[in-house]
Amino acid sequence: MRIGIFGNTNNYPLLLAMGLRQLGHTTLLVVNRPERLHRPESKFPELATGYPPWMLDCSDIPEDDFMSATSRIGPVLDFLAGGTDALVLNDIGPSLLEFCDRPAIALMTGSDLSYHANPETLRLRQHGWDPVFAASPGARLWSRRFSEFIARQRAGIRNAAMVSAPLRGLVPAIDTLLDGIGVADERRDFVYVADTDVPPASPARSNARLRVVNGARLNWKAPLPPGFSSQDHKGTDILLHGFAQFVASGGDADLVMFRKGLHVAETEALAQALGVASRIEWRDEVSLREFHVEIARADVVCDQVGESFPGLAALDAMAIGVPVIANFRPEATAAHFAEPIAACQAQTASEVASHLGSLAGSPRTRIEAGRAARRFARRHLSPAANARRCLDYLGARVATTAHDRVS
At residue 351, the pLDDT reads: 98
In the predicted model, is pLDDT for residue 353 greater than 50? yes
132 and 221: one domain?
A: no
At residue 407, the pLDDT reads: 39
Q: Is residue 203 part of a domain?
A: no
Q: Which residue has the higher pLDDT, 128 or 340?
A: 340
Q: Is residue 48 part of a domain?
A: yes
Q: Is residue 201 part of a domain?
A: no
Q: Is residue 182 part of a domain?
A: yes
At residue 401, the pLDDT reads: 57
At residue 127, the pLDDT reads: 86
In the predicted model, is pLDDT for residue 323 greater than 60? yes
145 and 263: one domain?
A: no
At residue 285, the pLDDT reads: 85
**CA 364 to chain centroid:** 31
In the predicted model, is pLDDT for residue 348 greater than 90? yes
Burial class of residue 54, CB neighbours in 10 A (0-12, 13-18, 19+): middle
Element (DSSP H or E) covering residue 236: helix 236-248
In the predicted model, is pLDDT for residue 402 greater than 50? no
At residue 400, the pLDDT reads: 54
6 and 105: one domain?
A: yes
Phi and psi at residue 108, to the nearest 5°: -90, 130
- Residue 109: name the closest of 233, 13, 14, 218 by CA: 13
Q: Is residue 317 part of a domain?
A: yes
- Residue 377: name the closest of 300, 326, 305, 317 by CA: 317
Residues 281-307 have pLDDT tens digits of: 999 988 888 899 999 999 999 999 999
Q: What is the CATH number of the domain that holds 229?
A: 3.40.50.2000
Burial class of residue 249, CB neighbours in 10 A (0-12, 13-18, 19+): exposed
At residue 204, the pLDDT reads: 72
102 and 215: one domain?
A: no
Give me the mean pLDDT over the 62-69 stretch.
96
CA distances from 259 to 28, 231, 280, 284 (A): 34, 19, 12, 5
43 and 132: one domain?
A: yes
187 and 219: one domain?
A: no
Q: Is residue 198 part of a domain?
A: no
118 and 44: one domain?
A: yes
Task: Compute the mean pLDDT over every residue in the chain, rounded to the nearest whole number.
Answer: 93
177 and 76: one domain?
A: yes
Residues 302-320 have pLDDT tens digits of: 999 999 999 889 999 999 9
Q: What is the CATH number of the domain that holds 402?
A: 3.40.50
In the predicted model, is pLDDT for residue 396 greater than 80? no
In the predicted model, is pLDDT for residue 131 greater than 60? yes
Give me the mean pLDDT over the 56-80 stretch.
97
Q: Is residue 199 part of a domain?
A: no
397 and 349: one domain?
A: no
69 and 189: one domain?
A: yes
β strands within 40-95, DSSP E: 55-57, 86-89
Residue 355 to residue 324: CA distance in whole angstroms = 10
Q: Are 291 and 270 in contact (CB under 8 A)?
A: no
49 and 186: one domain?
A: yes
96 and 145: one domain?
A: yes
In the predicted model, is pLDDT for residue 222 greater than 60? yes
Domain containing 22 equals: 2-193+383-406
What domain count does the chain have?
A: 2
Residue 220 to residue 9: CA distance in whole angstroms = 22
In the predicted model, is pLDDT for residue 403 greater than 60? no
**CA 288 to chain centroid:** 13
Give me the mean pLDDT over the 339-351 stretch.
97
